[in-house]
Structure 1
Amino acid sequence: MNENYINISGFIGTDVETRVLGDGVTVATFRVASTPRRWSNRDRTWMDAETNWYTVNAWRQLGRNCAESLQKGDAVALYGKLTTQVWTAADGASRPVMVVDAAVIGHDLNRGRSSFERTVVEGIDERALAEINSGYGVGGGQVSSDGETIEELVGETSLATTG
């Protein structure tokens, strides 16, 4: 597979919008601006390059957490799969948009402080989930805390909490 993954450090430039799709899957979408800085030997100073804009999609629990945690203007660091989508503007011109399907998003702690609050997914035994994931080893697949994904990936293994 020739998929491109990218690390981005930047600022959220739009409000975080959340949608629930027909099958009940949540997606949060927002735009991130990232401005690379370059050292100019001639001027002996740092200079800003052109700002790159990315549309970020965060799915399922990550999307719900983004909606609860992020807002316009926040400094973020993220990792995800990069794709380019092309759309046609009202004037008929084609416009490319860089889209990142996020795997990991967090506040950029180089630019400020944050606090962490673990989300609890009802009906999931965190210890059983950790045990299953440890069996995959370093670099192996990991099981999500999303109920549908767990059932698909682990089959008959029970992750339901016991009363």
Structure 2
Amino acid sequence: MNETMITFQGWVGSEVNCRDAGGSPLATFRVASTPRRFNRSQQNWVDGETNWYTVNAWRTLALNCAESLESGQAVVVFGRLNAQVWRDDNGVDRLHNVVEAIAVGHDFTRGTAQFHKSEPGSRDGIDPQVLAEANAAMGVGGPQVTSNGQTLDDLVVKEDAEAPAA
């Protein structure tokens, strides 16, 4: 399957809206990306036309985006680009760019941030087993792996083994 992958930088242009979508968290927000070019004849920088993207982030990435991002912050987004085309009430074709995010982060060329690692199961109301099952069912990119090399499945099995017998 051919997919268009995109990496872009821009500014968060809306509040992050986080909701439940079919049992998985989904965060949606808009990002404005304006290219800048040097105009040699005028000897100055000129802004190009602003591109707007709707970014959809799922599961743990959704929760982290909702907790970390605010309107006006500089971000870098990597994900799958989908172009949605429709005809408006005036018969004009419109294009809407939607990015299914794989990774989102603050753009450190524009400022600083503090990183706080989220631990599996540390999110209120999110069960690691449910996340593991949802990720497995979606088949997206294989198992979720922690920074120490464990998968969520390994952690859930370990927690179940350590739990006292009822």
- Structure 2-normalised TM-score? 0.75
Letter in 1 for 2:11: F
Letter in 2 for 1:105: V
- For 2:87 and 2:18, how far apart are their aligned partners in 1? 24
1:4 aligned residue: 4
Q: What SS does the corresponding residue of 1:146 show, helix, strand or coil?
A: helix
Equivalent runs, 1:106-145 vs 2, <5 Å: 106-122=105-121
Q: Structure 1, residues 7-26: CA drift from partner, whole Å, max 9, x if none?
A: 1100000111112013x111
Equivalent runs, 1:33-44 vs 2, <5 Å: 33-44=32-43
Equivalent runs, 1:1-150 vs 2, <5 Å: 1-22=1-22, 24-122=23-121, 146-148=131-133, 149-150=135-136
- For 1:21 and 1:59, how far apart are their aligned partners in 2? 9
Runs of 4+ in 1 over 4 A off after TM superposition: 150-154
Judging changes above 3 Å, is the alpha-carbon distance between structure 1 residues 88 and 26 closer, same or farther for their aligned structure 2 residues?
farther
- For 2:43 and 2:67, how far apart are their aligned partners in 1? 42
Letter in 1 for 2:132: G
How far off is 1:39 after superposition? 1.2
- Point out where structure 1 has 5 or more consecutive residues left out of the alignment: 124-144
Q: What SS does the corresponding residue of 2:53 show, helix, strand or coil?
A: strand
- Point out where structure 2 has 5 or more consecutive residues left out of the alignment: 123-129, 144-152
How far off is 1:46 after superposition? 1.3
Residue-pair matches, total: 139
Q: What SS does the corresponding residue of 1:11 show, helix, strand or coil?
A: strand
Letter in 1 for 2:97: M
How far off is 1:90 after superposition? 4.1
Q: What SS does the corresponding residue of 2:75 show, helix, strand or coil?
A: strand
- Alpha carbon RMSD of aligned pairs, Å? 2.2
- For 1:158 and 1:67, how far apart are their aligned partners in 2? 27
**Identity level (%):** 45
- Structure 1-normalised TM-score? 0.77
